Each structure stands twice: as C-alpha cells, then as structure tokens.
Amino acid sequence: MKRKSRLAAWLLAAGVGTLAASGVASGAARAEDGTAALAGKTCGTLVSRVAEIPGSGPVFLRSYDSSFGVGQTSELPLREAAFTYDNALAVIALVACGKTEPALRIGESLLSAATLDRARRQGRLRNTYRAGAQTQKPIPPNGWWDVTANRWFEDAYQVGSATGNVAWAGLALMTLGQATGEERFRNGAAELARWVVANTADPRGPGGFNGGVQGFDDKPQALTWKATEHNTDLAALFGWLERSGTAGDWAGPEKAARGFLDRMWADGGGHFPTGTAPDGVTVNRATSGLDAQLWPLLLRGAPEAWRAALDYAEKAHGVDGGFDFNDDRDGMWVEGTAQAALVYRLLGRSDEAQRLLAEVGKEVSRGGHVWATREDSITTGLAIGPDSTTDDFRYYRRPHLAVTAWTVLAAVGWNPFTGERVK
C-alpha cells in the first residue's frame, strides 16, 4: 500500500475522513444556499420593478436602474431607455422565477411592438423603447426632450433594429407561449422571425444573417457585418419555432444560421470568431467576444467539440473572479460571468458555476439590480455604430436589467434558448 493510501485508510479509521467529507458537504450546501438566495433576491427585484408601474397593462422596464440614488445616468438617451434585449431577458427570467403575470406585462408590450411598428412594418422591432406603461399603439421608440435645444430627439441606434435583439424578443415570446399555451405569442415570434429572414438574410461567404438596420426611417443604413452572437440567437429561435410546429418554413433559416456557426467554428480552430467584417465574408479576427464562445453551447444539439470554446474563454477572457467581455482582460463583465455560470451548470460543472455565482452575488446593488461591471468601465473591442472610427463601445459600472436577468437564469438554472431547466 502506498503511503498516501495508508494515510487515507488511517484517517477513515479515525473518523477524520468522515468529518472532512461532512465539511465538503456542508460547504456545497452553503454554496447552494447562496445561489438560492441570489435567485430569490434577483427574482424579487424584477417582480418589484414591474409592480412599481401602476396598473396591470403592458410595460417596458428601464434598462439602467437608479433606485435608491444608485446608478443614475446623466445621459438623456439612457435615462428612460428600455432596451428590447434587456426586456426580453426580463420576460424569460420572470418565467424562470415562476412569475408569469409580471412577465406577461412586458411580453404584451413586445407582442404589440412586434405586431405593428410605426413604419407599418409587421415584425420590425426597434432596439429601444421608452420605459413605463405602454398606452400608445403603435408603441413609439425611445426619445427625449432636450431643454437646451428645445426639441425632441431620437437616437440612430435606438430606433434601429439589430438582428440579435429581434431574435431575443422572439425567444421571450416563445417562452410565454410555452408558459401560457397561448398561440398568439408564438405567432408574434413568427412575425419577428419572418422580418429577420426577409431583411437580413445574406448568402455571401459563410451565409447566415447580417446585423440588421440602423438609422432613422427616412435614411436607414444596413448593417452588413454578421455576428456569431446574432446567428446563435437565430438558430435558437428558428429551431424552437420548428419544434413547436408554428406555421412557416423554419428548417431552412435554422440551417442557414447553424451553417454560419459551423463556418465560424472551422475558421476559429477551437473557438468562435465574433463574425465577419462589413463585407459579410471576411472573418473578423480583430477582437474576441465572450458571448460568441458561450452562447452556442446553450443551443439544443450543440456538438461536443464546441465545448473547447469554453476552454478558450477561460484562457482568453478569464479574470480574477470571472470573465471579461473581450480578450484584453481589463475587468470583469458581470453579465458574461453569469452566462458562463449557466454554461457550467449545463455541462454538469456545478462547482465552477457556484464559484462564479458567488462572485456575481457580490455585485448586487443596493437597489437590487446587478452591476454591469466590477470595475468603473471595461472595453469590448467593438464600435458603437457604423460611423464610429474607434472601438468606442464600453461597459460601465451601472445597475443593469439584462445583467440581473442573466443572474436569475444562472442561479435558477434556465436555458433561454430552449425554455428548459438545467441541473
């Protein structure tokens, strides 16, 4: 018997091994209790934010929380902004919490916006709406009054339609359709999917779908680059529509989106590039995106080989306590860290998931929303819009709706791409 084995036998004979095992078990129980507490706190935050808006009608939630004087932004375009992506995630998270009624209030707004846009296009969703009760039809995009200029303003990005945002809204409606059994939500998701196919399909190079549309209605600008993230969202949406038997041809679009991912994987050699350049063909290797590595692993039937993308993310994006958005590792992106926790749970790596959620739990603001970053700000390596001359898109330390929703999904264990719980 080797020395290590003899020592182990002695510890067990003395009862020390039992104590050690008990300590491990109690540590795991404490971690699970912490995760449950985090789920309860963040679910409660989402429920309370919906309840704060009077009545029982359709609502959109503010993306940047300023409760208790925390996280107030002086930027007029953001003050009352309700980003579509954030609200779609809130719908899914609320359903995951078992809170369908508040989820329906947001979902009704998404459904209304999906059914009729102010430009009279069905299925066209804007990137941002104004937070609060939604009483107008059609629902107008976010805007604000500038006292100095004495006029109403809108933002070119906010009135645009990013493909990924439209897809996430579709996933939210599919989640509600599954939760309620009401076909109208699936039909609304189908409207969104048809808009995407009609307006963003691009057979060039790796195929797939481009970034969408930006700019004002009289001068729309096509976003001709393609994103791994967007095509992942679409593969999930098209696949869910196909499985649910929703009327339409969804197998073809799903194949196109999955084909794009297969091409990116082949070109990445063990990870997913962020997508293509504006020519729709050239692979973008200028930066790396964490969501591009993680989200494909959440897809139903994701190849086991793709798990290497998580290994890549750990090396290229890993920082103390979590993950950065890009590979310069200048700080922790809390939203992405929660996403990674969910992926770890899906892959059966519960210890890593609990460790990340413990770090995310440290970033809950006094108002209940989770901070977007641990540092004051971090880079992404991406540009805000097509007219940007630098990689000027950054994340800032502000309490944020989407981060809170992803924290819920990771803590509860809910896959937003399939509407199923994970272990």
State both tokens at 219: 């001068």
pLDDT of residue 33: 86
Bridge partners of 209, per DSSP, are 201
Closest by Cα among 346, 368, 324 to 422? 346
Cβ atoms of residues 302 and 309 within 8 Å: no
> Has residue 418 got a pLDDT over 90?
yes
> Has residue 423 got a pLDDT over 90?
no
Q: What is the spatial distance between Cα 292 and Cα 315, in angstroms, rounded to a whole number?
A: 15
Question: Given pLDDT bands bounded at 50, 70 and 90, which one contains residue 8?
Answer: very low
Taking each helix axis from N to C end, the angle separating 350-361 and 16-51, rounded to the nearest 10 degrees, works out to 50
Bridge partners of 153, per DSSP, are 144
Bridge partners of 371, per DSSP, are 399
Please give the residue that has the higher pLDDT: either 384 or 106: 106
Which domains are present in the chain?
31-421 (1.50.10.10)
pLDDT tens column, 255-288? 999 999 999 999 999 999 999 999 999 999 999 9
> Has residue 100 got a pLDDT over 50?
yes
Read off the DSSP letter of residue 231: H
- The pTM (predicted TM-score) of the whole model is 0.92
Q: Which helix (H) or strand (E) holds 50?
A: helix 16-51
Question: Given pLDDT bands bounded at 50, 70 and 90, which one contains residue 27?
Answer: low
> Has residue 17 got a pLDDT over 50?
no
Taking the alpha carbons at both ends of the chain, their separation in whole angstroms is 38
Question: Given pLDDT bands bounded at 50, 70 and 90, which one contains residue 69?
Answer: low
pLDDT of residue 19: 36
